[in-house]
Amino acid sequence: MKSSSLFSLLEFFPAPGSLSPVPATAKAPGWTFLTNHTHVLVCLARKTDLTLREVAAEVGITERAVHAIVKALEADGVLSRTREGQRNRYRLNRQFRLRHPLEAHRRIGELLDLVVD
Q: Based on C-alpha coordinates, what's the Rg of the chain?
A: 14
C-alpha pair distances (Å), 93 with each of 3, 28, 112: 32, 30, 11
pTM for this model (two decimals) = 0.75
Query: Is a pLDDT exceeding 80 seen at residue 6?
Result: no
Q: What single-letter DSSP state applies at residue 105?
A: T
**21-49 pLDDT per residue, tens:** 444 445 666 888 999 999 999 999 999 99
Query: Is a pLDDT exceeding 60 seen at residue 97?
Result: yes
> What per-residue confidence (pLDDT) applies to 117?
84
Tell me what the pLDDT averaged over the chain comes to.
84
Residue 53 to residue 110: CA distance in whole angstroms: 26
* Angle formed by the axes of helices 108-115 and 36-46, nearest 10°: 70
For residues 69-90, one letter each, b for 16 or more C-beta atoms within 10 angstroms of the residue's C-beta and e for the rest, the string is: bbeebeeeebbebeeeeeebeb
CB 38 within 8 A of CB 111: yes
Domains of the chain, with CATH numbers? 32-115 (1.10.10.10)
Query: Is a pLDDT exceeding 70 seen at residue 14?
Result: no
| Mean pLDDT, residues 58-75 | 97
Lowest mean pLDDT among 24-33, 44-53, 64-73, 97-106: 24-33
